[in-house]
Amino acid sequence: MQGPSHLFSFPIDFSAPDVAAVICRKVGAIWFDSARPAHPQNRYSYILVPSKNPASGSELKKMDGLPPFQGGWAGYWGYDLARDLEKIPDLHENKDQLPDKYVNYYSSLFAFDHRLGKGWYITRAATLLEAQAEFDKIAQEILSSKNGDLYLPPRINWQSNFSQTEYKSSVKNIIEHILAGDIFQANLSRRIEGDVPVDFDPLQHYLHLRQVNPAPYAAYINAGEFQVLSSSPESFLSLSEDGVLVTRPIKGTSPEVVEKDFPDSEKDHAENIMIVDLMRNDLSKICEDQSVEVTSLCHAEIFEGLVHLVSEIKGKLRGGISAEQALMACFPGGSITGAPKIESMKIIEQQEHARRGPYCGAIGWISDFGSMETNIAIRTLICKGNKIWFNVGGGITALSDPLLEYEETNIKAKAILGSFAQ
């Protein structure tokens, strides 16, 4: 049977949080949330309505003047997908029982252009009458919703799966690998976990988290049995409809003071430049010859409580390579593995105490029209049942000080921990 074949849009005056408070209660809903207004990449947000209709083969015409995502595939690609991609040994039990990949098709969504201050409901339907009826029904749901009570975040008894001594020991082990010439750098993370009260509401907590730790590549996924609450500052891969592929790796972290503190940090700059070289190599495998270029090297960007060093690499994707093929060719991001990538991942597997799951994978969307936007899933909480957890990590180089590396993970954990009662 022929499926819906046209795109329709309706202007809205709802705010993204008001829409999310209703739509994100539905299993399968996703919120791609550009939540940090001052950030230069902070333009579009999307709230995806779970779709009853899978993609059909009908030809769609993109609507001009609207945000680039107007329907397509979205979700997360977990770090552990890389085991099959790169033949990485699996040394840890899959105790969380989360899918390595959670991606669904979406034909209806709310889209927001923060630069223009406008929003739309976009849907795929057979006729305008059908689209209007769908919009009226969902708009009424939002209008009828009542603001909840004031949210009071719970106090969690957090536990780390690394003690300070164990983490420092693993840092030393990685440094030994570097000095032996096995790798140049590896990213080491530890997991922080706890139990939530029976009445814990992941969506209410995300609405709170996005206020205390706003991030340009934030996201909320309601997968039903579990929820993903991401306040990621880092873009992984974006792809424009005309085939320009961009990656913006973050490497180098300092408490938010002044941006000029970074030039004196030899370790942070070395870390970033090594990952730039790795990502240039990844892009060169799928981009046109001589099209890959570093368009920005080691510039400082301010986030909530932190300053990061960010670089930008661009290339022109070769014809015949799909967005998801490009994603997998560069997966996982070099900023959260190390260099060389495969050997670093094998060492990570030896040193870390658990699977990473969605952490350090990618959260994002692939449009019906070929464009793509994905983040690196760092600063990301996972909630399943009465359990909640997140990981924090950092890049280890020959210049690393084990104690300072442990303290850097505490700095990165601060924003997420600060979203809970102390």
List Cβ neighbours of 385 (8 Å cut-off, separation of 6 or more).
Answer: 226
Find the catalytic residue in 234, 301, 352, 405. Answer: 234
Map residue 58 onto helix, strand or coil. coil
Neighbours of 154 (CB within 10 A): 15
130 tagged catalytic = no
Find the catalytic residue in 62, 168, 193, 251. Answer: 251
Burial 223-250 (b: 16+ CB within 10 A, else e): beebbbbbbbbbbbbbbeeebebbbbbb
341 tagged catalytic = no
State the greatest distance between any 2 C-alpha atoms of the chain, in Å, as a whole number: 68
Burial of 353 (0-12, 13-18, 19+ CB in 10 A): middle
List Cβ neighbours of 25 (8 Å cut-off, separation of 6 or more).
Answer: 203, 222
Q: How many whole angstroms separate alpha carbon 413 and alpha carbon 213? A: 11
Half-sphere exposure of 191 (CA within 13 A, CB side): 18
List Cβ neighbours of 10 (8 Å cut-off, separation of 6 or more).
Answer: 120, 121, 131, 132, 135
| Residues involved in catalysis | 234, 251
